[in-house]
Chains A and B, each alone.
Chain A
Amino acid sequence: MNKFNIARLLVMLFALTLLASGCAKKPVAEETVIEEPAEVAVVEEQPVVVVEQQVDEAAVARAAAEAAATRAASGLQRIHFDFDQYVLTDDAKQILADNAALLKAAPGVKVQVEGHCDDRGSDEYNLALGEKRALATKNYLVSLGIAADRLSVISYGEERPLDPADNKVAWAKNRRAEFRVRR
């Protein structure tokens, strides 16, 4: 009996507190609403500052990316091949390692790898050989961690020699893979 009364009392107390809190909350809420405009004004100012900062950061990032891209564009070194070969020489692999570092520093940069030949073979064969050279170059860069979708290939065969002369030095120059940065 006693227990029941205590319980009843508790429920009533709970109901009262609910009512009390409900009544008490209203004025507080009204006050905060009144104060709100000032706070909103501050909030309104802040985004402007934040946005400006974001612009700066993006610009900085862009400038950095630009610089990396420029470094990549000017720094990517061409590699050379032996006659009728598309296997990468040790020298070529060394150069490609440097190129890979430049490309990693400029992740936004896409590159077209151009395969070229000297003009001694037949034209069609050289177009195919130039493509093999470009693909061997691309595959090696991919193995060094460059995303494959950043690297496209094209073969110019013997159509675009660096040196049109007809001697060993010129031929060696012309058997190459080049990198053309596409932005």
Chain B
Amino acid sequence: MKIYRAALLTLLFCSLLAVPALAVRIEISAPGEQTIPLAIVPLLPMGTAKAGIAEEFQQVLENDLTFSGLFDLVDPESFLADAKKLTLHSTQVDFGQWRMLGADALIKGGYRLEGEKLIVELRLYDVVSRRLLTGRRYFGKLRDVRRIAHSFADQVLLSLTGELGPFNSRIAYISKRTGYKELYLMDVDGHNPVRLTDHRSIVLNPDFSPTRKELIFTSYKKGNPDLYRKEIYTGRESRLSLKPGLNIGGRYSPDGREIALTLSKDKNSEIYLIGTDGTIHKRLTNHYSIDVDPSWSPDGQQIAFVSDRRGNPNIFIVDINTLAVKRLTYAGKYNATPAWNPKGGRIAFARLKDRQFNIFSIRPDGSDERQLTFGPGSKEHPRWSPDGRFLVYSLDENNEKSIWMMRADGTGARRISAPGSSDSHPAWSGRW
């Protein structure tokens, strides 16, 4: 009896600790981070089975969760009898079996087909506390399997870390696969690429509106590098800024109300703020040197940019209210393309050394600079995921340009764009 009570108390204690313990472990940039042992049971049919659904779902979900770097997947070969049972309620799950396999977290689910309609039930359990952490029911079409898997991956991250994952967002990028640089859109794992422009000119450097399904980019379509805006679903497109000279590097403010960009209407590149109607609100820099590549701080009060005002291209930060400028990077001879983490904390940028770029990150106060990429090829154009956990960037190696993704600490790099298509300049959308 006493032993039983002790066990019960221990269990109670564990269940109390379990959630905070998991959450603490998931601090991504913590050095020597621990991973959560996770078992993902393949989807079971809740009616007639259809070949391919469970497999595709499993592949997408595993891919996302592995990339997050937060999990250690339990080998499905070792799964016991409970894996064969559709247990959508925590009281039905034999948690003891999963405990034996060393799993701390467990994902189970089932799918049902009703004509063209697909319904997927998903559960994330905490094996230690024997609790349901998150339960989701998705309604979609057969072709939405990947989308559902991405959405649930985001929910898993939300449940375990308090911050939604970025896997159901999109990547905009520039591809030259038609022979011209045009704007494209794809899923974060490189699937479903769609071409958005047909300018047959030069399209450059996209950025997503944080509030609408809308992109801005620069195009030479009308013979001058003008800034364009495009609604993604209607396809509606307009020229937003068409000042003589450069209208480049447009970046929406975090609230989506303004755009920082480089204009050279006065014969020298300077950073400006314009409204979403294209009217100039404010000039932020005033220096005869080159000033380009703005990137907003998460609070929308400061902008990191590139300037050669001290000789070589380096990264500076301007306060948009006082216009005070401070220098951020001192090391290296050529620092460019700053990208401020939307959750704060760090600014990623690319440094040119020995004829190739590598990606670094640094705190906004200039301390704690770290090199994130190594090895052959030039890595440029870093951009953060909306949750600030990941970076997407371009790799130029052996004259092939491709898009890659990695974690904020530089680990887990993987190629996401298809081979042989000359893709660059990714931008990560906000929540979709």
Shortest B400–chain A CB gap in Å is 11
Q: Chain B interface: which size bin? A: 35 or more
Determine if B181 and A159 form an interchain contact, defined as CB atoms under 8 angstroms apart. yes
Q: A120-B352, A122-B306 are in contact. Are A127 and B225 (CB under 8 A)?
A: yes
Q: Which of A116-135 contact B (CB under 8 A)?
A: 120-125, 127-129, 131-132, 135
Q: Is the interface of A mostly helix, strand, loop or mixed?
A: mixed
A120 touching B269, Cβ below 8 Å: no
| A159 vs B225: C-alpha distance when bound (angstroms) | 12
Decide: A127 and B337 in contact? CB cutoff 8 A: no
B333, closest chain A residue (CB): A84
Is there a chain B Cβ closer than 8 Å to A166's Cβ? yes
Residues of the A chain whose Cβ atoms lie less than 8 Å from the Cβ of B205: 123-124
Q: Which residues of A are in contact with B by a Cβ distance under 8 Å? A: 84, 120-125, 127-129, 131-132, 135, 153-156, 159, 164, 166
Given contacts A122-B313, A159-B181, A166-B399, whether A127 and B352 have CB atoms under 8 Å apart is: no
> Whole-angstrom distance from the CB of B391 to the nearest CB of chain A?
16
Judge whether B2 is part of the interface by a CB distance below 8 angstroms: no
Contact of B246 with A by CB under 8 A: yes
Task: State whether A124 touches B337 (Cβ < 8 A).
Answer: yes
Return the contact of B336 from the options A125, A135, A159 (Cβ within 8 A). Answer: A125
| Chain B residues within 8 Å of A154, by CB | 223-225
B245 touches A123 (CB 8 A): no
Within the complex, the shortest CB–CB distance from A143 to chain B, in Å, comes to 15
Contact B306 A164 (CB under 8 A): no
Q: List 26 A-B contacts (CB under 8 A).
A: A84-B308, A84-B334, A120-B352, A121-B313, A122-B293, A122-B306, A122-B337, A123-B380, A123-B381, A124-B249, A124-B293, A124-B306, A124-B336, A124-B337, A125-B306, A125-B313, A127-B246, A127-B248, A127-B262, A128-B269, A131-B245, A153-B245, A155-B225, A156-B220, A159-B202, A159-B204
Complex Cα distance A132/B202, Å? Answer: 20
Is B269 a contact partner of A131 (Cβ separation < 8 A)? yes
Contacts A125-B292, A132-B268, A159-B202 given; 9 further ones with Cβ under 8 A? A120-B352, A121-B313, A121-B336, A122-B292, A122-B293, A128-B291, A131-B245, A131-B264, A166-B399
Q: Would you call B267 an interface residue if the criterion is a C-beta within 8 Å of the partner chain's C-beta atoms?
A: yes
Q: Which residue of B lies closest to A129 (CB)?
A: B290
Q: Report the nearest A residue to B307, measured CB to CB.
A: A125
Nearest residue (CB) in A for B378 is: A120
Per-residue CB contact flags for chain B residues 65-96 toward chain A (1 = under 8 Å, else 0) read: 00000000000000000000000000000000
